[in-house]
Structure 1
Amino acid sequence: MYCRKCIKFTSGQEIENQLKEVDSEYFLSFHLSNKQKEISQKLAKLVSQGKSVLLEAVCGAGKTEIVYETIFQTLKQNKKVGFAISRRQVVLEIAQRLQEVFKNLEVIAVCQGYTNKVVGDLIVCTTHQLYRYHNYFDLLIIDEPDGFPYKGNKVLHGIARNSYKQSVIYLTATPDEELMQRVMSEELCYLKLSKRPLGNDLIIPKVIYGFKWLLYLVLIIKINNLVKLNKKLLVFVPTIKMSRFIYFLLRKYYRCCYMNSKSTNKEEIIEEFKTGKYEMCICTTVLERGITIKGVNVIVMFAQHIVFDEASLVQISGRVGRDVNDPFGFCYFLATKKTKEIDKCIKRLKRANND
């Protein structure tokens, strides 16, 4: 018998775990920093010992690149590796990146709309799709475990736990209390990387306080100033309704698009934004994680809203300054009042810069 939450994850046949020798060599078009190499080697060693690890790495530190060596070493032993991510559009992006690096592997993406093929040399999937892989992976890598919808979801936690036999790696810039408790209890080993590859500081957001309608005026002024820089701009808003409202407010004056959880063409919107069709994207927290846009600046509208917790604000500000050729940018939080979450975000970023 299954509960209502679990029953939708019980269909389908169990995948046969066939051993297959693969060429897991990877090819980088760049060099890891000394600190990245150090963390990468430590991670590979811990996993080779059967340990599970929490890797806390600031936004833009290259946490995906850091796990390449561990993936290589694990596959070299004819073991199975899975890379699980909460959001579909990030699955597709990470799968493409991994295929470019692990050129001799068959890297497959398994998510909504991509379920015809579920077996490959390296599997990248949404956390929901892990139900297909009961006791299948020797190593499971879970990206952003503190993000929606994985965080606090006992069903997804259980599905993930049942999908791997040996080790799990959690990758995040904002580990939650549950993960840190597992570190304290020595259930997880802990590695931390507080610097981006070039050693440049994280961007500290500038907070602007004002009344609601004054903030709309500030928003227009900041948009005008930032668009003149000929760089892309992300405007984060707290609700779906507001994303539509601000889009319709601005569309006559700027090349802009909007995106939220209800958008049916997320991949298309992201691609068109990246390639320059739009200069600005108004979005909800659906784009707070897992996306890298070169040279982007950020505005958070109504940053005091309950949807913007510390982790969300840290992740959003982490979209800025990720381009190694242009590690600078602007991030503004527009808020009607001070909040603990805004303060904690600023303090966390400053601590990382001082590490």
Structure 2
Amino acid sequence: MEELYGRQKGMLKGELSQLDDSFQCRKALLVTNQVSCQRCGSYFSKNENQLSSKEYYCPYCIQFGRLSTQTYLVTQNETKKAPREVRFTWQGKLTPAQQKVSDNVLKNYQKDKNTLIWAVTGSGKTEMIFSVVRDCLQKGGRLAISSPRIDVCRELYPRINEVFPKEETLLLYGDSEQKYRYNALTICTTHQLLHFYQAFDLLIIDEVDAFPYEGDKTLAFAQKNALKKDGKYIYLSATPPNHLLSSLKKTFCIEKLPIRFHERPLVVPQLIWYESWQHCYYSNWKIKKFVAYLKKLLEDNDVLVFCPSISYMQNLYKRVSYFFRSIKMDCVSSLDKQREEKVQNMRDGIYRVLFCTTILERGVTFEHISVIVMGANHKIYSKSALVQIAGRVDRKGSYQHGQVVFFYNQQTQAIRDACEEIKKMNRLAKEWIAS
């Protein structure tokens, strides 16, 4: 039953007799004045979610298998693993600024301290965790790198696999092809943490401020459950919200890095007034402004066009396609079954333009790219989303004059704050380089 080392599974009371003393069993639902789920941490009243048998069930994590008051969560206590050799094949070199952060993160972990890496987009956060991942594995530890976004996990997986080729890294998300197996190194979405219980010595959460993790109490509960009692956290973020920074002051070391690895500044967005951006695909006259800017940007780079909704994206894509018949373009959203293939096509240069929703706001890297945000004043674009979107530009490769264009017809606090944060990080980076 190795698959239950640190992994929790719902079992009925009658099934428990087949288990020996190495297994740990606890009730899936606790009933007091309320009913509480021990897998997702949700609470509900006794008047809700009752079966005909008078038993209760949890509706909040039912997609991971139904838990009722007749169910027990079963896991197996893992034996301590011995230190071992870990093959590490990365041939790159950290910049002095990256090396300082990497060294501090490793020292913090070795001193049993949690860490937040607060580093700008394109600073090389993944490379800065290589040393601590290696240290954890060498000590016989088990770790997970988790993110709220599937695309981030997919991009991390081949990079981690290449650096730690003997680890047989496991990639888990809702529709992933791989099935769970016991191993030392896992990359997964934060929802997959609901399946784990006291499994990891080190839990690294990338894009800790991203939807749907940010503000989700269920995922926060799952994260705490997944960590061993003496385990440690490392959070990664380019845009940590103030409430997160405040909550971590006493329990986390904060390592800040305002410089990208190539030491070029973050691209400051151009704010372009577009009166009728919401309806621009209705006529050739209204779309004319967008087409003109797109043509100009395509002289130097490929272009990502961020849209506030799937329907808007599809309508805009159809209208714009008529003006660029010789250029290959497409659109992609979270509902697209060819999502992974389309993103790779953009990365490979097959597409020159890719219309997308906020699924590509973070965690993905394209060379030679410019960005347009349609309706930057839309409520879906928070400050952190706008900063992350702008951060897609000039992440790697030689400088290609990448630009960031925010089309808007109303000034918002999110737009102001995003532009100010980018400028602030650039000022701070300039000071770091000069010192």
Query: What TM-score comes out, normalization by structure 1 length?
Result: 0.94
Q: What residue is the counterpart of 2:269 in the other structure?
A: 205
The residue aligned with 1:232 is: 302
Q: What does residue 427 of structure 2 align with?
A: 354
TM-aligned CA distance change 1:178 to 1:162, over 3 Å: farther
- Taking the aligned partners of 2:400 and 2:64, their CA distance within structure 1 comes to 42
Matched, 1:48 2:99: no
Structure 1 runs of 4+ off > 6 angstroms? Answer: none
Which of 61, 64, 69 is residue 6 of structure 1 equivalent to? Answer: 61
Q: Distance in 2 between matches of 1:256 and 1:23?
A: 47
After the TM superposition, which residues 80-159 of structure 1 pair with which residues of structure 2 at under 5 Å, given as runs? 80-114=142-176, 115-159=178-222
Give, in whole Å, the separation in 2 of the partners of 1:22 and 1:108: 19
Q: Which of residues 290, 315, 318 in structure 2 aligns to 1:245?
A: 315
On the 8 A contact 2:115/2:234 being kept in 1, the answer is yes
> Does the residue aligned with 1:298 lie in a helix, a strand or coil?
strand
CA contact (8 A) 2:117 2:237 kept: yes
The gaps in structure 2 that reach 5 residues or longer are 1-28, 30-36, 38-57, 67-72, 429-435
TM-superposed CA distance for 1:111, in Å, is: 1.3
Q: In structure 2, how many angstroms separate the alpha carbons of the residues matched to 1:130 and 1:9?
A: 11
Find the partner of 1:172 among 237, 243, 251.
237
Which residue does 1:333 correspond to in 2? 406
SS at match of 1:202: coil
3-state SS in 2 of match to 1:29: coil
1:141-199 per-residue CA deviation (whole Å, 9 max, x = no partner) reads 00111111111110011001111121111101010233211233x12211101001121
Residues 1:222 and 2:293 aligned together: yes
* Cα distance in 1 for residues equivalent to 2:328 and 2:168: 38
Preserved CA contact (<8 Å) 1:200 1:327? no
Query: Aligned letter for 2:394?
Result: G
- What is the SS of the residue equivalent to 1:337? coil
Gaps of 5+ in 1: none
Count of equivalent residues: 353
Q: Is the 8 A contact 1:107 1:120 kept in 2?
A: yes
d(CA) in 1 for partners of 2:128, 2:335: 33
Q: Counterpart of 1:218 in 2: which secondary structure? A: helix
Q: Is the 8 A contact 1:110 1:123 kept in 2?
A: yes
Contact 1:86-1:148 at 8 Å conserved across structures: yes
The structure-2 alpha-carbon separation of the partners of 1:328 and 1:172, relative to structure 1 and needing over 3 Å to count, comes to farther
In 1, the alpha carbon distance for the partners of 2:102 and 2:286 equals 44
Comparing 333-342 with 9-18, greater Cα deviation is found at: 9-18
SS at match of 1:189: strand
2:347 pairs, out of 265, 274, 280, with 274
1:162 match: secondary structure: helix
Please give the per-residue CA displacement for 1:113-168, whole angstroms capped at 9, x wherever unaligned: 33413322311011111122210000000011111111111001100111112111
Deviation at 1:328, TM superposition (A): 4.2
Across the aligned residues of Structure 1 and Structure 2, the Cα RMSD in angstroms comes to: 1.8
Are 1:58 and 2:120 an aligned pair? yes
**Distance between the aligned counterparts of 1:246 and 1:29, measured in 2?**
43
Structure number with higher relative contact order (C-alpha < 8 Å, ≥ 6 residues apart)? 1
**Does the 8 Å CA contact 1:22/1:121 hold for their aligned counterparts?**
no
Deviation at 1:226, TM superposition (A): 1.6
Distance 1:227 1:131, change over 3 A: same
Q: Does 1:161 align with 2:224?
A: yes
**Amino-acid identity (%):** 29
Structure 1 or 2, whichever has the larger Rg, is 2
- Distance (Å, rounded) in 2 between the aligned partners of 1:277 and 1:329: 19
Distance 1:328 1:71, change over 3 A: farther
